[in-house]
């Protein structure tokens, strides 16, 4: 089925719905570059397992839409928000912080050109569950968004290395006696090492010779034992405490 959708800049897009019975991932884009925003709208409109729920040119517009929906007594049905960081008015990091408190069950992924370590850390601390560069190819971006709704946290190898460098430069280096005892199994440690290297779940499964579901199970256990909620937090904690 095809449906016309009006985005925040009053352009009309056409959405291709998935097959009946298939739940589409409802994606919101917050991007001030009109050309790049239009390409994202087309990508998610024309991919059957996604639905473009909304598209905004600024965080101010996105937050205003939340307020308008809240006044009607409903919350926006947003599964994933792709958040640019360099936005006019309210920047993407502050917007991430606000949306995280307003919509705790919505996944927020920073989609940006910035690789500077402190920017990466600021976005993660604000509540971003993943950090993906804009130069990421479309199919890889789709896979990253799919992964976040199934418990993953997109963190490209480039960003993983950036986070590693940040921890090496500014984080403590614990002694053997300082390392926390978190009772990670050898397989959980191996999966954690894959996360530190920025591997997608599928790559980690192939590398370790286990199934994708087994990787997800180990990741859930790692998150629980490290008391974290996403891969970025897990990587940071692992590196700071010398767990890998």
Which of the two residues, 41 and 235, has the higher pLDDT score?
Answer: 41
Is residue 170 domain-resident? no
What number is the average pLDDT over the span 191-195? 84
Q: How far apart are CA 81 and CA 111, in angstroms?
A: 9
Burial track 13-37 (b if 16+ CB lie within 10 A, e otherwise): bebeeeeeeeebbbbbbbbbeeeeb
Q: How confident is the model at residue 178 (pLDDT cuts 50, 70, 90)?
A: very low
Which of the two residues, 177 and 236, has the higher pLDDT score?
Answer: 236
Residue 214 sits in which domain range? 176-240
In a shared domain, residues 191 and 150: no
Is residue 205 domain-resident? yes
Residue 44 burial (10 A CB sphere; 0-12, 13-18, 19+): buried
In a shared domain, residues 61 and 30: yes
Q: How far apart are CA 191 and CA 178, in angstroms?
A: 22
In a shared domain, residues 108 and 19: yes
Q: pLDDT digits over 89-138, tens only?
A: 999 999 999 998 899 889 999 998 887 777 777 787 788 888 888 998 99
In this structure, what CATH number is given to the domain that contains residue 143? 3.40.50.2300
Q: How confident is the model at residue 193 (pLDDT cuts 50, 70, 90)?
A: confident
Is residue 165 domain-resident? no
Q: How far apart are CA 226 and CA 214, in angstroms?
A: 18
Calculate ∠ Cα 100-132-123, nearest 5°. 40
Q: How far apart are CA 212 and CA 124, in angstroms?
A: 25
In a shared domain, residues 96 and 205: no
Cα–Cα distances (Å) from 35 to 11, 26, 31, 32, in that order, read 12, 21, 9, 9
In a shared domain, residues 183 and 149: no
Structural domain count, the chain: 2
Tell me, yes or no, if the pTM score tops 0.75.
no
Cα–Cα distances (Å) from 233 to 40, 133, 141, 161, 238, in that order, read 27, 18, 21, 14, 8
- CB-CB neighbours of 190 under 10 Å: 17
Is residue 98 domain-resident? yes
């Amino acid at each position: 089925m095809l449906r016309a959708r009006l985005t925040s800049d009053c352009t009309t897009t056409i959405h291709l719905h998935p097959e009946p019975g298939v739940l589409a991932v409802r994606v919101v884009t917050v991007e001030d570059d009109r050309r790049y925003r239009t390409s994202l709208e087309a990508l998610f409109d024309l991919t059957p397992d996604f639905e473009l729920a909304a598209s905004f040119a600024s965080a101010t517009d996105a937050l205003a839409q939340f307020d308008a929906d809240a006044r009607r007594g409903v919350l926006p049905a947003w599964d994933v928000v792709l958040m640019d960081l360099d936005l006019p008015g309210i920047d993407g990091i502050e917007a991430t912080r606000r949306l995280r408190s307003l919509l705790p069950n919505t996944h927020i992924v920073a989609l940006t050109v910035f690789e500077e370590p402190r920017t990466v850390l600021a976005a993660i601390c604000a509540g971003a569950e993943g950090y993906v560069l804009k130069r990421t190819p479309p199919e890889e971006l789709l896979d990253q968004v799919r992964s976040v709704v199934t418990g993953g946290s997109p963190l490209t190898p480039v960003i993983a290395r950036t986070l590693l460098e940040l921890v090496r430069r500014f984080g403590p280096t614990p002694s053997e006696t300082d390392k926390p005892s978190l009772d990670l199994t050898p397989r959980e440690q191996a999966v954690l090492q894959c996360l530190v290297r920025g591997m997608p779940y599928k790559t980690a499964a192939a590398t370790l010779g286990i199934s994708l579901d087994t990787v997800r199970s180990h990741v859930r256990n790692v998150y629980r034992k490290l008391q974290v909620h996403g891969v970025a937090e897990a990587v940071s904690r692992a590196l700071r405490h010398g767990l890998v």
